[in-house]
Every structure is written in C-alpha cells, then in structure tokens.
C-alpha cells in the first residue's frame, strides 16, 4: 500500500467525525438568537472532532471493521451530547 492510499483510507475513516464536528460547530453560529460561546472556536471544533475520532476508533476495535451503523449512531450521540454540553 502506498503512502497516498494509506492517507486516503485514513482520511475517509475520519471524514464522518470531522464533518459532523464542523456542522455542530457552524450551525449554532448561524442562528440569530444563538447563545454566547464559552470556548474559542478552534478549541470547540478540536474537542468535537477528537471525540468523534475516538468513537470511530472504539467502533473499529469493538466490531473489528469500519462502517457499522451502530458506530455512526454512537458518533452522532456522543458529538451531539458534547456539543450541547459545550453550548449549554
């Protein structure tokens, strides 16, 4: 496997967590009556993305393969709960 193929696999593995973190970071900021932000934007996005990648890694370890719907449901639940907690 070449370096570029390995990079492609790793990027596609992390893509759901990174996109979900970007959505959870950006969408509340688009609302007019959004609450004040407690954390800096880079910190908020990094924590959301990090938790998402950890959930995906846990799903890979537990189920032995990537792409299980239970893992994606856990990703949405974990990142959504964390985003809500960070925003209060």
d(CA 21, CA 52): 8
Residue 87 has pLDDT above 90, yes or no: no
Lowest mean pLDDT among 2-6, 37-41, 43-47, 69-73: 37-41
Residue 88 has pLDDT above 90, yes or no: no
Helix (H) or strand (E) holding 43: helix 41-63
d(CA 11, CA 3): 12
Please state, for a pLDDT cut of 90, what percent of the chain lies above it: 65
d(CA 9, CA 56): 13
CA 4 to chain centre: 23
Number of C-beta neighbours around residue 20 at 10 A: 22
Tokens of 35: 């609450």
- In this predicted model, what pLDDT tens digit does every residue of 20-41 receive, in sequence order? 999 999 888 887 776 667 778 8
């Amino acid at each position: 496997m070449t370096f570029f193929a390995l990079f492609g696999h790793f990027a596609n593995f992390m893509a759901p967590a990174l996109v979900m973190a970007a959505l959870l970071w950006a969408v509340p900021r688009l609302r007019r009556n959004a609450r004040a932000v407690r954390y800096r934007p880079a910190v908020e996005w990094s924590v959301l993305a990090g938790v998402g990648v950890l959930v995906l890694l846990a799903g890979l370890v537990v189920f032995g393969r990537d792409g299980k719907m239970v893992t994606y449901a856990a990703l949405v639940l974990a990142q959504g709960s964390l985003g809500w907690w960070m925003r209060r």
